[in-house]
A and B are shown apart, each in its own frame.
Chain A
């Protein structure tokens, strides 16, 4: 038992409380309390540099700690929005009991925390599968045909992908040979030098395909646009901003084991190929989008591609990729929460039906346009900074082809997104829209505002101690261990 157990047990306890007391009015307090306590606990554990004994099961490595912080922060930012959203939604569907839904949300947080903090590869797998199962009910709130279709694809494709990843884990155990009893990440890294290379290669390919399905790397990304666009906005924010990172953790760990075994070029090369493929796919599909939440989902695919690309290249690019996980999560969280507001205001998800946000509600308009510009990589926002660092890292590693394709896809996406969004923001307000009431919607500003602030500061200034965290993670991925 160490301090990190609290991180995933607390939300689970909150979920149990919700399942037992089946009253709607408990949802708000329990959600906010869980989010705050979780955030406080994570902040405390990370800032005091608490390190559990190496080799224990709940023992986060540096990338795990980073992703845990991102998850916790994002959940806190969306928690306030969630309560208001559920309350508003119940006005249309009275007498609906949302405790199961909110309980699943907390279980989702709990399983993501478990995935980030687990030090054992088998336990990590169990946690990731648990995130799929916990998030599936979250996607269909109203059981509409479209959301059911999205949920089915999500469940089936992700479960099949994660099963393939399990096969990869078994291959990894075989590669470890005699030391196979120890499937902890520390143990595997230590053993890496003596692994059977053939099995290791096969294992990495399976891990990449399997966890890549969950991360949303092309060509196994087909579930992502449906699931992320049909889910309610706060769930989309969590899925895009937190879950994709946690799933990427598996690929990351596989990559560091390969690097420790001396096969870093092989695994890095594969990662780069998948990364570029994802970016190009996202760019191509984004051009003709008609649904703005789907557009955001494709943007998530693109950014996970950037992260994969940077991680595969290594060195400075990897550090940039880690910074990118933070900035992308902040931007995507901001955007999805704003999109939720837009859905409420305009009652549609079609781009062509939304016009004139700026004149209708300036705050939302600023958040929307600013967020889109940020996520497309405009300075002075954080995303630009991390994309630039990745670019520098690619140039340092002398990867001209990747650089060219990288820039091309970034340009593609920029043009596609701004082309879709600028007509939305300006012009005369269109369609049936309702101004959100001043009193009820207010605390839904705090979350997006906090995320926007993070985004801005990341673009302007990164403290040296924080930067050291990213370089440390990059070194970890180079296989040198903790």
Chain B
């Protein structure tokens, strides 16, 4: 059990590299979905024997929404828009992976003093892992041009924050957690609709070309 949690956390860190280095949108979507699956698995393994039915229901719903529904929504958006590759982001893919390695080192260094506040022995490494996920999500939002990739960056950020919550064993009431999940779902839903409209209006999905409003 112990080793399993650590291996899952390691996989979580590695999925971020895939997200940073891949230019194919469907690959990025499945990476983010896999992150959600990993998070569900990590939650279950770190909870150990303190599994209450609420936790199980919550994990199952998180898996269903973030692992199945949202990726399906996003894949449909990719199909509708017809754009499936991120071409020429502001920071190239190889450079992104290297910068990701640097960010990972920074996360490891920063989180050294905090490791003791982790909820359990197994979830210690989740703190730098979650921090890295948040940072790579933000990196993607900032450096990618396609609107859909920015949504994926936002989802990665949310995954990281959720992971952080798990590592610190923050117990929000069940309704609040379901509310947060619902918020993420509706957010991506609304973003998907806006992307569809942007594509209809502009015939592209490049947010860096949206420069009419400026001072």
Contact = CB atoms under 8 A, between A and B. Distances in A.
A and B touch in the complex (CB under 8 A): yes
Given A149-B213, A155-B190, A155-B194, A126 B183 contact: yes
B48 to A, nearest CB: 18
B11 interface: no
A126 B150 contact: no
Contact of A140 (B179, B182, B197, B202): B197
Interface string A64-78: 000000000000000
B194 A126 contact: no
A159 B187 contact: yes
6 contacts: A133-B183, A137-B190, A143-B201, A145-B210, A163-B154, A170-B164
Interface of B: 117, 134, 138, 141, 147, 150-151, 154, 157-158, 161, 164-165, 168, 170-173, 175-177, 179-180, 182-183, 186-187, 190-191, 194, 197-198, 200-202, 207, 210, 212-213, 215
A393 interface: no
Nearest to B212: A146
A167 B198 contact: no
Contact of B213 (A150, A174, A288): A150
A124 to B, nearest CB: 10
Contacts of A144: 201
B171 A180 contact: yes
Contacts of A173: 168, 170, 172
A167 B134 contact: yes
A285 interface: yes
Contact of A149 (B165, B168, B210): B210
A82 B211 CA distance: 29
A130 B190 contact: no
Contacts of B150: 156
Contact of B179 (A126, A150, A225): A126
A166 B201 contact: no
A167 B201 contact: no
A155 B173 CA distance: 26
Given A126-B176, A133-B183, A153-B210, 4 more contacts: A126-B180, A149-B210, A156-B151, A173-B168
Contacts of B179: 122-123, 126
Contacts of A133: 183, 186-187, 190
A163 B138 CA distance: 11
Given A122-B176, A143-B201, A148-B201, A170 B187 contact: no
Nearest to B202: A145
Contacts of B200: 143
Contacts of B151: 156
Contacts of A140: 194, 197
Contacts of A145: 201-202, 210, 212
Contact of B180 (A166, A183, A199, A285): A166
Contacts of B186: 130, 133
Contacts of A137: 190
A150 B198 CA distance: 11
B197 A148 contact: yes
A371 B126 CA distance: 53
Given A129-B183, A180-B170, A148 B215 contact: no
A414 interface: no
B45 to A, nearest CB: 20
Given A120-B173, A123-B179, A152-B147, A160 B138 contact: yes
Contacts of A150: 213
